[in-house]
Structure 1
């Protein structure tokens, strides 16, 4: 009997220890891993169902944020168009809270930060906690394989580039647009470019329009497409060697809330660039091409890449061939510039000439954007965080932007939205942003003339 009592007492003590251990374990903070879940313990149907449960609410929250920050109504120029013929959006579109553009520039950065009225805070992704590549309807309507079941694109089409941008080649400027008004894909690249490119360039283009597995577009159970997917191609985002406004999250930063939204940059003019990736400072287009396939396609997670089917290019042939084609993508022609990259005074308007003077003078734009391509091939920190608080907004931490590469401004009217994360929807917004961040105190006519100059670059 005594033995039984002893066993019962021991059992009770053990049970108490286990309960206390479990309670203590449950109170431990959740570990935020640098890695994604490699071995899924649920199937595709459950993953899709879970994502669909939150889709509508997340979209509603995101659109509320966008409408609070911006005027999303369609406003375009009746006479200024992109090189493909699409009217350019006009602004500024950012909404000011309790102030005006004339008044806000009178405030110090600290006053703007304290009042919480900076109009160009970092822009969150459509569902920042989820992330991934996201394509606009003007592309998914042509390439339905790029539709995600869990997310809809968030920005209106009128602030995006041409759906089918022209292609200009440094090797054949006499031809003008060589795309023949078609979106270049694996189905038509050969018939359009055979005879215009050398064999290496043609092979490079083939690889640029070939689908390869990516984080959301692949064959695994945790994909974000209804059907298993071969993946995405480089030209799915860089449409016709330019951009279509597709966006995703930069792969370099963790945890998720600190990651930056990234807009797809144009590949036009990469032959004159020496830095690649808006914040990565990769030194060659070959480095960028290889990096995208090995890591960026999978959110910078090499373990996930191994699971989903990373395509490792051979550096000496495949990467080289892709780079050789990209190196002949030219900026759109501009008839108003002389051989030094400045305005031809016999062709430019008074407003454009005055805008150029501001660009090279009071606006201090030339400090980073030097002619003829309007870039210094360097990186700069604008320290925009002087103007806003470190706080959460729609799943994203409004953190520091850090060093950003100087993008070339040639053909800039073809590439809205602007800044690395697309927070500036129009060229007017770009001018207002830099007027604030650089504390320039430009007058309204000066800002208008500066926009006029940017439109003809």
Structure 2
């Protein structure tokens, strides 16, 4: 491993010395302190930002078709955004999806034919990392709270039309009869009491308040190594998990080192938390309380608790705070799925022939249900390793990110899946059609086009 990584790290070290405000190569356990005054760091980062964003845009445009092509009459659960259609991952020249699926992993690797869009996706600024928020979240928080979530070194990289609807609806297990309780608004520390007063309990209201309270985070704090222009109160849990769903914000997984090997981590939905037994795509935390506590202590600081201390670490009390936060998270329901019965199966009286065919593929040839079990909210509460590295050369560096094996990742629920693009743990797949093509290749199930279309139709009913 050290021999394999030596050259990429050397390249990153040169890049750091020549063009970055980061003082040391990103191959250390602890985050280094800045060696330049904040004003100079900010000036350097702002000057580099256009080039950083161009480099990421070039990568995305090389990998994907990012056009706005919505499905006809298929909307996300809140009814404000259409679901995007079609495969967006670009194939290598002269190769079809069927031809690719007929090859062995070794053939694909040796010929370099794995589509780039199936490769791990770099953080927009991999060497620095940290949370990056989409514009609509930044603008709404600035409007409601006068709090700045805009970084001066990097912007969000995906087009808005490929993101979840904003703000997303909120459904409660305790009041399914109310439907969406958000009133079409983004919950913030300013409005949450008015919106949910009389609907949730005092314990849940206190948990919600804590989930909406900003606390210091690696790039959003009051110290000189922040990445926002003004001293910041930090970020809140629901800054990423907007209305307990997701806005597509991303950061780097906190439990991998060195920095260049840390993979991008897309924000997951908190819907259906009540039925989940493990949390965190990689860390496999065994309760929502553990997850909530861990996020505050280390994930907010890229896994560096030493760095957290000087910024003002938040250490929520397990009994009086963490438990209340968990109580609130555990009443967030999935969106309605009227075509499903109580066992998670399609009702033949409500489903179309194509949807029923897709369910048959899901349960059978597609092998989706091996992990996404309908009776348990379309997950199995386990970790699985897809071993994607069978298909590509390990150690390739792209935009300062070294593509290493992902290892085991938890099975995410598929309930409400149309509301949570992009897909996979790092958001590398733009659409459900992309996701079907990805798993068709990786699992080697060899679906034909009719079966793929049926599977997408079925996923939209969940």
Q: Same fold (TM over 0.5)?
A: yes
SS at match of 1:102: helix
1:369 corresponds in structure 2 to: 372
SS at match of 1:248: strand
Matches within 5 A, 1:364-443: 364-372=367-375, 373-390=377-394, 391-443=396-448
Which stretches in structure 1 are left out of the alignment for 5+ residues? 1-28
Distance 1:256 1:161 in 2: 28
Moved more, 112-121 or 264-273: 112-121
Measured at CA, do residues 222 and 333 of structure 1 come closer, stay the same or move farther in structure 2, by a change above 3 Å? same
1:347 corresponds in structure 2 to: 350
2:103 corresponds in structure 1 to: 107
> Does residue 459 of structure 2 align to residue 454 of structure 1?
yes
Match of 2:87 among 81, 85, 92: 92
Matches within 5 A, 1:275-354: 275-354=278-357
User: Contact conserved, 2:289 with 2:323, CA < 8 A, in 1?
Assistant: yes
Distance 1:354 1:170 in 2: 30
SS at match of 2:83: strand
> Does residue 204 of structure 2 align to residue 178 of structure 1?
no
> Does residue 149 of structure 2 align to residue 146 of structure 1?
yes
Structure 1 position 32, deviation (Å): 3.8
Task: Please give the per-residue CA displacement for 1:38-86, whole angstroms capped at 9, x wherever unaligned.
Answer: 4x44221011012123212221111111111111111111211100111
User: Contact conserved, 2:26 with 2:259, CA < 8 A, in 1?
Assistant: no
Measured at CA, do residues 30 and 384 of structure 1 come closer, stay the same or move farther in structure 2, by a change above 3 Å? closer
Match of 1:129 among 127, 130, 134: 127
1:78 corresponds in structure 2 to: 72
Measured at CA, do residues 305 and 30 of structure 1 come closer, stay the same or move farther in structure 2, by a change above 3 Å? closer
2:62 corresponds in structure 1 to: 68
Moved more, 42-51 or 329-338: 42-51
User: Contact conserved, 2:27 with 2:260, CA < 8 A, in 1?
Assistant: no
Match of 2:30 among 17, 26, 35: 35
SS at match of 1:429: helix
1:11 corresponds in structure 2 to: none
Distance 1:91 1:30 in 2: 40
User: Contact conserved, 2:133 with 2:249, CA < 8 A, in 1?
Assistant: yes
Task: Please give the per-residue CA displacement for 1:200-223, whole angstroms capped at 9, x wherever unaligned.
Answer: 100000001110000000011111
Structure 1 position 31, deviation (Å): 9.5
Please tell me the root mean square deviation across aligned C-alpha atoms, in Å.
Answer: 1.2
Task: Please give the per-residue CA displacement for 1:177-230, whole angstroms capped at 9, x wherever unaligned.
Answer: 000000000010001111111111000000011100000000111111111100
Matches within 5 A, 1:185-264: 185-264=188-267
| Paired positions, count | 428
Task: Please give the per-residue CA displacement for 1:368-395, whole angstroms capped at 9, x wherever unaligned.
Answer: 0111311111110010111111111111
Moved more, 167-176 or 66-75: 66-75
Task: Please give the per-residue CA displacement for 1:252-296, whole angstroms capped at 9, x wherever unaligned.
Answer: 111111000000000000000001001110000000000000000
SS at match of 2:374: coil
- TM-score in terms of structure 1 length: 0.92
Measured at CA, do residues 31 and 255 of structure 1 come closer, stay the same or move farther in structure 2, by a change above 3 Å? closer
